Structure 1
């Protein structure tokens, strides 16, 4: 999630400045973030799902990840209302909230797995 947050904030810079160099850097960061989230998400799904329903759970995971491809459209639509920079910063803020929720929930998840 840190790479997503950094990528969204990095994407706000070329939007604000018009710099193609910053745009290239933001594209690399966001592409890396997508790859990291995809691999870590698949690993998590694999650790949760049993062998009998692995393919179904992975299919559902991919379905939710493909919804993320609509984010640029959402930025475009909301950007007309508030501007693209605030929308990207708000996306980063949502990423911070998701990271915080994960950090709060993770000890609860691992504690519940160790109980008999």
Structure 2
């Protein structure tokens, strides 16, 4: 997983903006944390790329990030290089195939995490 902290455009309203590549999900992601969000679980206020292969083009992650932070030149190339270097974990696809092939319900609670 890669992670790049960006400088917020307005530090009074945005506390943190993060972009990166998530290998297990095979997705680029953006997390935006607003200063006035009192989320007790410290979850992002806005986020994309949290589902399996949800964001396969770094431009989508950069587009959201650019609304809240200064995005350095070359960030698309950086994220693409992160994805190429780290690759994709195929385990989520295998789990999806198991669900499709099995007779419901499949209980995966006791399965060890492969990544």
Q: Same fold (TM over 0.5)?
A: no
Q: Which has the higher helix share?
A: 1
Please report the TM-score for the alignment, with normalisation by the length of structure 1: 0.23
Q: Which has the higher strand share?
A: 2
Higher RCO structure, 1 or 2 (CA under 8 Å, sep 6+): 1
Please report the TM-score for the alignment, with normalisation by the length of structure 2: 0.23
